[in-house]
Amino acid sequence: MTTRRNDPGRPSAEGRVIERLLAERGIGRHALFLTQREGISLPGGLEAVSGFVVDDRGRVHGFWLAWDDARRALTLAPFYPVRDPAREFADDAEYQAARRAIVREDEQD
């Protein structure tokens, strides 16, 4: 995951915000993959980050850490389901590793 700064064992400020926002959406056990900094400054000295999350049932969502002017709060927007992640990411090593790390085979959708 590329949302870490300096210490590879500790999530960056952006990573901690993403974790909180995913929890607010009901995403429990999960792994992030294909994350990248987008070069867009957000309030609080943060930077926009985009990527994907796979949960322990194999469901995948794409997201973008952004600022919601109306709510004056950080948000994941867009946040969207990936309908067929096995097909979309069939050849992606980062997806495959995230999936192996998090998905329980008996709980897949």
What does each C-alpha distance from 20 to 3, 11, 94 come to in angstroms?
A: 14, 12, 22
Structure tokens at 28: 């429990």
Condensed to tens digits (0 to 9), the pLDDT of residues 53-86 reads 999 999 999 999 999 999 999 999 999 999 999 9
pLDDT at 5: 45
Q: What SS3 state is found at 37?
A: strand
Q: Where are the domains of the chain?
A: 13-101
Condensed to tens digits (0 to 9), the pLDDT of residues 82-107 reads 999 999 999 999 999 999 999 876 65
Q: What burial letters (b/e) apply to 6-30, b meaning 16+ CB within 10 Å?
A: eeeeebbebbebbbebbeeeebeeb
Structure tokens at 22: 């995913």
What's the predicted TM-score (pTM) here? Answer: 0.87
Structure tokens at 74: 């950080």
pLDDT at 92: 98
Type of residue at 40: I
With a cut of 70, say whether residue 48 has pLDDT above it. yes
